[in-house]
Structure 1
């Protein structure tokens, strides 16, 4: 694996988990009660940012390959798997919510 792949993987792990680990909106603004909709919106925003970064990294190495819908379904599923530890901590293990 190249350095760009390792960097992308690390950024994907951080972006997938960060919405569930903090009570701040996008890590900046404190909200009174951060509900699941906030988490999903932040998670999807992170997904779009990671996908854009992956596109940029691929474009730097050569022509970007066209992908079908199957690729995007698998990419979203893998991103959800990356977010699973923080999701479990937030909603199943964390007895007292940090909100």
Structure 2
């Protein structure tokens, strides 16, 4: 896989992963909520968002390793990628919390 394709694939995976906590009511889209709860609260969704950020980072690290030597990164890199991940999560957050949903 070329470097350009790897970058686009990581961005696509990041977009999907950033919105995943907001579009379903299961933990990591797989596990049912403990205690028979019907809805996830915001804290659970944010915890999932952090976990998925690290998962996507791991995928990006694997692609970088397959293409060559891994470049050392400072704190600035992680601050920018975390901010980008939050920006990518905005459509899901908007859909979940800012739009009115009809009931019934």
Q: Note whether the superposition's TM-score is higher than 0.5.
A: yes
Larger Rg, first or second structure (1 or 2):
2
Structure that is richer in strand per residue: 1
| Partner in structure 1 of residue 82 of structure 2 | 76
CA-based RMSD? 1.6
| Partner in structure 1 of residue 20 of structure 2 | 18
Structure 1, unpaired ranges of 5+: none
More moved, 22-31 vs 6-15: 22-31
Establish whether residue 89 from structure 1 lines up as the match of residue 91 from structure 2: no
TM-score normalised over the length of structure 1: 0.89
More moved, 2-11 vs 65-74: 2-11
Pairing partner for 1:35 from 38, 41, 52: 41
Deviation at 1:24, TM superposition (A): 1.2
Deviation at 1:4, TM superposition (A): 1.4
| Partner in structure 2 of residue 9 of structure 1 | 11
Deviation at 1:29, TM superposition (A): 2.6
Q: SS of the counterpart of 2:40? A: coil
Would you identify which runs of 4 or more consecutive aligned residues in structure 1 move more than 4 Å?
none
Structure 2, unpaired ranges of 5+: none
- CA offsets per residue over residues 64-95 of structure 1, 9 Å max, x none? 11111111100100000000011011111134
Q: SS of the counterpart of 2:51? A: helix
Structure-to-structure mapping, 1:59-70, within 5 angstroms: 59-70=65-76
